[in-house]
Amino acid sequence: MWALQIHDLSEFRLGACSIHSGNLASVQRFPPLTHGDITLRALAKRDFRVLRKLLIADREWLIPWEATTPGIRYPLDVRWMIRSLMSQAKKGTGLALVMEYEGKVVGQLNVANILFGSVSSANIGYWIAKNSAGKSIVPISVAIAIDHLFTEVGLHRVEIDIRPENTASLRVVEKLGLRQEGVKERFIHIDGHWRDHVVFAITSEELKGSLLSRVQNTGGQ
């Protein structure tokens, strides 16, 4: 279906503060959260085999949305990916999560570039197995994640960047009711070219109640 790539924008942003112990604990503490048949939980080393199987099986479907390095073709290294994502979570700069449907891992959701202080924001990206697409797993999982980031982590703003051609992912932010802010031109190198991305965002002040409730009210059940 899609892989909205989370890129590691590790640059320093003016006004962003370093993580202190309270912030770090709030990021690292992610209990399994369930809604119906959908569960969002922290990524674990034991997920290596199933994630590798899904990523290999859906290579042709996912490649058009995966970030690449100009001039270099890296082989798929799921073990390195898991280590990298878990390292970011340990540092408190990201959250590496898996989406489960009816008890089976069907994809991943990553929160990256977590910043506190005067910025207090993060980016979200995700991918899901082709045979699990169209079941509202992603919008519900994203809603659960954003509710957690606002209420438990204390962030102010969450952003999702999507290629204009990625109609499936555009439907996700439509269900979520995220606000469109503009276009980042030639933003991320994907599948051999620099690609534009449409910026969608939401702030904690915009929510009346939970984002999960909003998704349910728009039919994302």
* CATH code (residue 27): 3.40.630.30
124-173 pLDDT per residue, tens: 999 999 999 999 999 999 999 999 999 999 999 999 999 999 999 999 99
Note whether residue 82 is domain-resident: yes
Total domains in the chain come to 1
Note whether residue 175 is domain-resident: yes
Note whether residue 69 is domain-resident: yes
Note whether residue 40 is domain-resident: yes
Note whether residue 9 is domain-resident: no
Note whether residue 122 is domain-resident: yes
Q: What is the pLDDT of residue 28?
A: 77
Note whether residue 4 is domain-resident: no
Q: What is the pLDDT of residue 63?
A: 86
Residues forming a β-bridge with 67: 190
Which residue range forms the structural domain that includes residue 51?
Answer: 16-217
Task: Enter the pTM of the model.
Answer: 0.87
In this structure, what DSSP letter does residue 110 have?
Answer: E
Note whether residue 7 is domain-resident: no
Calpha distance 122→150 (Å, rounded) = 10
79-116 pLDDT per residue, tens: 888 888 888 888 889 999 999 999 999 999 999 999 99
The predicted model gives 16-38 an average pLDDT of 76
Query: Is residue 174 exposed (0-12), middle (13-18) or buried (19+ Cβ within 10 Å)?
Result: middle
